[in-house]
Amino acid sequence: MVSISIYLSSLIAGLLTGVGALISIAIKNPSDKLLSLSLGFASGIMLGISTFSLIPESLELGNIYFCALGFVCGAGFLGLLDYGLPHIHKNEMEYDEYKKMGYFIAIGIAVHNLPEGIAIGVSNEVSVVMGFYMAVSIGIHNIAEGLSVAMPLSLSPNMKKSRVVFITSITGLATLLGTIIGKAIITISAFFISASLAFAAGAMIYITSAELIPKSHRSYGKYANIGIVAGILFSLFLR
- The pLDDT > 70 percentage for the chain reads 84
d(CA 39, CA 208): 10
In angstroms, the CA 59 to CA 124 distance is 22
- 47 and 232 Cβ atoms separated by less than 8 Å: yes
Average pLDDT of span 84-109: 64
State the Cα–Cα distance between residues 105 and 11, nearest whole angstrom: 20
Q: What is the pLDDT of residue 95?
A: 44
Residue 21 pLDDT level (bands cut at 50, 70, 90): confident
Mean pLDDT of 149-153: 82
Average pLDDT over residues 112-129: 71
Q: Can you give the pTM of this predicted structure?
A: 0.67
Q: At what angle do helices 190-207 and 64-88 cross, to 10 degrees?
A: 50
Amino acid (one-letter) located at 189: S
Top-confidence residue, 171 or 147: 171
What Cα–Cα distance (Å) separates residue 193 from each residue in 46, 67, 113, 239?
19, 10, 12, 17
Residue 228 is predicted with a pLDDT of 92
* Residues 3-34 as b or e (16 or more Cβ within 10 Å = b): eeebbebbbbbbbbbbbbbbbbbeeeebeeee
Nearest in space to 82 (alpha carbons), one of 64, 108, 56: 108
